[in-house]
Amino acid sequence: MTESKGVRILALETSCDETAAAVVEDGRRILSNVVWSQIDLHALYGGVVPEIASRAHVEACDRVVDEALRQAGLGWDGIDALAVTYGPGLVGALLTGVSCMKGLAYALGKPLVPVNHIEGHIAANYLSHEELSPPFLCLVVSGGHSHLVEVRDWTEYVCIGQTHDDAAGESFDKAARVLGLPYPGGPRIDALAEEGNPTYLPLPEPHTDGRYDYSFSGLKTAFLNAVHQMEQRGQTLPKADLAASFRHAVVEQLVGKAVLAARETNAPAMALAGGVSANRELRRRMTEACAAEGIPLYLPRLELCGDNGAMIAAAAYPHCRKGEFAPLTLNAVPGLRLV
């Protein structure tokens, strides 16, 4: 690797319904970030159809990788290392990306860094805040995960809290479906909630064994029952008020536990990560709560909250520096954990 021009990593992300590739320099500077979303393909079915996702990734991989190189203004000789998400995610979707990058690594003779998708979401913060470095506490909230992670060092993580059941994003998607909103529901609930009354429908506060753990399934069930009762009574659904009430309950739980953990563990800073970190109420409430506690807060740039290749390249960088490369026997690990 040539140090003078910085280390350039080309990463591919295909764990769910985005085919995304990017080139990032030294884990901090985005040279290109191409995201091809499959949402239109899945919206018809109300959720991601794994078979359709895998097929679409296969068709899009080459194109998206080429476009990332082109937008970075580089040829293959300008790339020092490759990186790919190998889990967690949908097995077929992950496999298409892993196979594509293994093929490129072999053909080009370049090292391949295997990246955990969750680590990628956390690293989106390094791309958003040049001055941020570990240690900090990170609330990771996506379609599949709700974790409180102590980021102790660049590649060292300790999970101090997690959901017992649904992930926060998953609960938003399910609540949206009950309100008849199209997939993906999280952003729709968020937009609708801006016009609604968050105290319209009081929802139960969940009980969890772990002090910093989460639970969203009780909330979801209470919400579904309330909506069904209204429908049975022939009532027109006050959708904005319902969306605002659900969002309020989820966000209060997320912020309450995260701030409690930050206080009790003397966290030097807090960050948000994952698709749900785009939620407007979460960003507002977390900003207020961290300001009240005197904890510096880092929010990922909006375009880096959802799945993208730049966050995977950023996460790959410290592993690349340590020479942590994958053999060509690398496989997809759908249930991969961060710690």
Query: Kind of pairing, strands 29-37 and 18-25?
Result: antiparallel
Dihedral pair phi/psi, residue 275, rounded to 5°: -50, -40
| Positions 119 through 138 that interact with ligand KG4 (CB under 6 A) | 121
Interacting residues with Zn ion between 285 and 324 (CB under 5 A): 307
Is cis: bond before 135, omega within 30 of 0?
A: yes
Q: In this structure, which amino acid lies at residue 73?
A: G
Based on the shown chain and the rule CB under 6 A, indicate whether residue 187 belongs to the binding site for ligand KG4.
Answer: yes
- With CB cut-offs between 5 and 8 Å by kind, which of Zn ion, ligand KG4, none does residue 97 bind? none
Tokens of 130: 């040049």
Nearest distance from C-beta of residue 264 to ligand KG4, angstroms: 27
At closest approach, how far in Å is the CB of 107 from Zn ion?
28
Report in angstroms how near the CB of residue 111 gets to ligand KG4 at its nearest: 25
Q: Does 246 bind ligand KG4 (CB under 6 A)?
A: no
- How many other C-beta atoms can be found within 10 angstroms of the C-beta atom of residue 202? 12
Closest separation between CB of residue 307 and Zn ion, Å?
Answer: 4
Q: Which is nearer to Zn ion, 93 or 105 (CB)?
A: 93
The one segment of 139-147, 187-195, 219-227, 228-236 that binds Zn ion by CB under 5 A: 139-147
Question: Is 162 a binder of ligand KG4 (CB under 6 A)?
Answer: no
d(CA 61, CA 155): 27
- Which one among 119, 150, 173, 241 touches ligand KG4, defined by CB under 6 A? 173
- 119 is a site residue for Zn ion (CB under 5 A): no
Per CB under 6 A, 300 contacts ligand KG4: no
Query: What's the closest the beta carbon of residue 100 comes to ligand KG4, in angstroms?
Result: 19
CB of 274 to Zn ion, least distance (A): 6
Q: Does 142 bind Zn ion (CB under 5 A)?
A: yes
Tell me whether residue 334 is exposed, middle or buried, using C-beta atoms within 10 angstroms of its C-beta: 0 to 12, 13 to 18, 19 or more: middle
Size of the site for Zn ion (CB under 5 A): 2
Site map 6..45 versus ligand KG4, x via CB under 6 A: ----------x-----------------------------
Among 111, 134, 161, 186, binds ligand KG4 (CB under 6 A): 186
**Binding site residues, Zn ion, CB under 5 A:** 142, 307
**Binding site residues, ligand KG4, CB under 6 A:** 16, 121, 142-144, 169-170, 172-173, 184-187, 190, 274-276, 278-279, 306-307
